[in-house]
C-alpha cells in the first residue's frame, strides 16, 4: 500500500467520515482513495474549489463535533494557513496532512522537509501550535494518522502529519486495524440546541484583550500538557553513541543506513528520530549531550531543525547539518561522510 493510501485508510478506521481537499502533487492519492471509499461507507468526500475552502469545510465539520481531515502539499498548506489559525483560535480538533514538496513558491514536486519551521511554529498568525507527527514508514503513516485524530480530540487542537513525497509515494507492507475511538467530551459542538440548552458558539474573535489573553494562556496550558505527555521519538543504537544523528521521516531512513555502515567501521554513532516534531524531544537530546560530543542533523531543507537541536542541547555541543534541498534527498554516502568527518573532529559549521 502507498503511504498516501495508508493515511486515507487509517483515517477511515479512526472514524473519520469527512474529507475535503484540492488536487496537488504528491498527495493526490489521499483524495483519490477517499473519493472511492467514502461514498461506500456513508461518508463524505468533497473536492473543494480551493485549499482555503477545503480547510474551512473542515472547520465546519469540526465545529459539528465530527472527525474530519484534509490533506495537501506545501503550497496548498500555505493557503490553509488561514484556516489553521482560526481553528486554533476556536479550539477545533482536526487532522491535516502535509506531504511536503520542495519550495519556496511553486517549488518542485520532489520530496522535501522544508516546511519544518512552518509546521512546528503553527504555520500562520497568532499564538498557537499544531501537534506535528513525522512518519518514517508507511506503517507509521497509518499509525500516526490514527494517533493524530485521538490527540487532536484529547487536546482540542489540530494535528498535522508532516510527511514528504517519499513517504507518500512509497509502498511498504502495512497493517491497519479498526480500533476503539477514545471517549471524548464534545458538548461544545454545534449540534443544534434542540431547545434544551443555551446556544453554543464556535468563535475565534474576542474584542477584549484580557479575554483573548486568558484564552491564549489557557491554550498554552494545554500545550504544556502536550509537551509533558506526548513527546515521541525513536533512539537507534544510542547506548554507547559518541556521535548523535538527528533526523526524521525519510532522512532518518537514509541516516540509519549510514549509521550501520559507520558502525561497521567501529564508529560509535546513533540516531535520535523525533516522531513528534512539536512537541520536540528536547529531554532525550539533552540527555544525549552528556555522552555525545557531536550532533549532526540530516534534513531535506537548508537546515531548519538544526536550530531546535541546538536549543534542546542548550548549545553544549557542536551541531552540524548534512542537508540537501529543493527536492534532493541526501544519500547514505553523504551522511556517512558527515559522520566520518565529525568523528575525526572536523570543524563544525
Chain residues in the site for another protein (CB under 8 A): 18, 20, 25, 44, 46, 48-50, 52-54, 56-66, 68, 82-83, 86, 90, 109-110, 166, 169-173, 190-196, 199-205, 250, 253-254, 256-257, 260, 329, 331-333
Tell me if residue 322 falls in helix, strand or coil. Answer: strand
Cβ(269)–Cβ(259) below 8 Å: yes
CA dist 329 → 110, 238, 301 (Å): 9, 24, 9
Shortest Å, Cβ 82 to another protein: 6
For another protein, the closer of residues 249 and 279 by Cβ is: 249
Q: Which is nearer to another protein, 27 or 63 (CB)?
A: 63
Closest distance of CB 204 from another protein, Å? 7
| Nearer to another protein among residue 283 and residue 333 (C-beta) | 333
Nearer to another protein by C-beta: 204 or 325?
Answer: 204
Residue 139 or residue 226: which is nearer to another protein going by CB?
Answer: 139
Residue 228 Cβ, how far from another protein at the closest point, in Å? 31
Residue 250 C-beta: closest distance to another protein, Å: 7
Instruction: State how far the Cα of 221 lies from the Cα of 218, in Å rounded to an integer.
Output: 5
Q: How far is the CB of 44 from another protein (least distance, A)?
A: 5
- Which of 59/278 has CB closer to another protein? 59
Q: Which of 133, 134, 148 is nearest to 67 (CA)?
A: 148
Would you mind telling me the total number of residues written for the chain in this entry? 349
Q: In 3D, which of 13, 15, 77, 12 has the Cα closest to residue 38? A: 12
Query: Cis bond leading into 141, ω under 30°?
Result: no
How many angstroms separate the CA atoms of 299 and 112, rounded?
9
Is the distance from CB of 154 to CB of 184 less than 8 angstroms? yes
* Whole-number CA gyration radius for the chain: 21
Q: In the bound complex, what is the minimum distance in angstroms from residue 56's beta carbon to another protein?
A: 4
Amino acid at each position: 500500500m502507498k503511504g498516501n493510501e495508508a493515511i486515507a485508510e487509517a483515517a477511515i478506521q479512526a472514524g473519520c467520515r469527512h474529507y475535503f481537499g484540492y488536487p496537488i502533487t504528491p498527495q493526490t492519492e489521499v483524495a483519490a482513495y477517499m473519493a472511492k471509499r467514502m461514498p461506500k461507507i456513508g461518508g463524505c468526500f468533497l473536492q473543494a474549489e480551493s485549499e482555503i475552502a477545503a480547510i474551512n469545510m473542515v472547520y465546519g465539520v469540526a465545529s459539528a463535533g465530527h472527525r474530519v481531515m484534509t490533506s495537501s502539499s506545501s503550497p496548498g498548506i500555505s493557503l490553509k494557513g488561514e484556516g489553521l489559525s482560526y481553528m486554533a483560535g476556536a479550539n477545533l480538533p482536526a487532522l491535516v496532512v502535509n506531504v511536503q514538496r520542495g519550495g519556496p513558491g511553486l517549488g518542485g514536486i520532489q520530496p522535501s522537509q522544508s516546511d519544518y519551521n512552518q509546521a512546528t511554529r503553527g504555520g500562520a498568525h497568532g499564538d498557537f501550535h499544531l501537534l506535528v507527527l513525522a512518519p518514517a514508514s508507511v506503517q507509521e503513516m497509518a499509525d500516526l494518522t490514527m494517533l493524530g485524530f485521538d490527540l487532536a480530540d484529547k487536546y482540542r487542537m489540530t494535528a498535522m502529519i508532516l510527511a514528504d513525497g517519499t513517504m507518500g509515494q512509497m509502498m511498504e507492507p502495512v497493517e491497519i486495524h479498526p480500533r476503539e475511538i477514545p471517549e471524548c467530551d464534545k458538548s461544545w459542538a454545534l449540534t443544534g440546541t434542540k431547545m434544551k440548552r443555551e446556544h453554543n458558539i464556535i468563535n475565534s474573535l474576542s474584542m477584549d484583550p484580557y479575554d483573548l489573553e486568558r484564552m491564549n494562556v489557557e491554550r498554552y496550558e494545554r500545550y504544556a500538557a502536550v509537551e509533558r505527555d506526548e513527546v515521541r521519538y525513536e533512539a537507534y543504537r544510542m547506548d554507547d553513541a559518541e556521535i548523535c544523528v538527528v533526523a526524521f521521516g525519510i532522512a532518518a531512513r537514509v541516516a540509519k543506513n549510514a549509521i550501520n555502515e559507520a558502525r561497521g567501521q567501529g564508529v560509535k554513532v546513533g540516531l535520535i528520530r523525533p516522531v513528534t516534531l512539536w512537541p520536540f524531544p528536547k529531554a532525550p537530546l539533552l540527555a544525549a549531550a552528556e555522552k555525545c560530543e557531536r550532533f549532526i542533523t540530516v534534513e531535506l531543507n537548508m537546515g531548519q531543525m538544526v536550530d531546535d537541536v541546538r536549543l534542546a542541547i542548550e548549545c553544549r555541543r557542536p551541531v552540524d547539518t548534512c542537508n540537501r534541498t529543493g527536492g534532493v534527498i541526501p544519500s547514505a554516502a553523504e551522511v556517512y561522510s558527515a559522520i566520518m568527518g565529525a568523528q575525526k573532529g572536523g570543524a563544525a559549521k
